[in-house]
Amino acid sequence: MREIICIACPVGCKLKVKHKGELKGQWIIEGNLCEKGIEFAKNELTNPTRVICSTVKTTFKELPRLPVRTDGEIAKELIFEVMKEINAIVLDYHVECSDIVLRNVLNTGVNIIATMDMLDAKNEKRG
């Protein structure tokens, strides 16, 4: 039996998960308060994925770093490689919230997107 904390919703249920017999893909999952916990546990033990939130550098004095995130989940094992790609980005142009900053990172089909409008941040700093 393995214990994991569910991150599918804010509750953070403590799940107990174990294989049900010899059949692959069949599980006994206990401790979930909602159906999301069941799906999370199955995915976490077979193909764990995460959304990455970080920042990228910019060339703008008013906003030296811009918050970004993935627009989908990536395999947990790729987190460090994706972070290398994110850390290499230096924006020298203005972007708006949800604009793609890096398309199809590591051929995953997932994009890195801005989570803030640069021009709004620039105006807030001035005023």
pTM: 0.81
Q: What is the pLDDT of residue 126?
A: 42
Q: What is the pLDDT of residue 127?
A: 42
What span, in angstroms and rounded, lies between the C-alpha atoms of 126 and 124? 5
State the first-to-last Cα distance of the chain, in angstroms, to the nearest integer. 56
Using CA atoms, how far residue 7 sits from 10, 63, 76, 124, 125, in Å, is: 7, 31, 14, 33, 34
Q: Please name each of the domains of the chain with its CATH number.
A: 2-46 (no CATH), 53-126 (3.10.530.10)
Q: What is the pLDDT of residue 27?
A: 85
Residue 22: is its pLDDT beyond 80? Answer: no
Residue 122: is its pLDDT beyond 60? Answer: no
pLDDT (tens digit, 9 = 90+) per residue, 26-61?
889 999 999 999 999 999 988 999 999 999 999 999
State the chain's mean pLDDT as an integer. 91
What span, in angstroms and rounded, lies between the C-alpha atoms of 4 and 25? 17
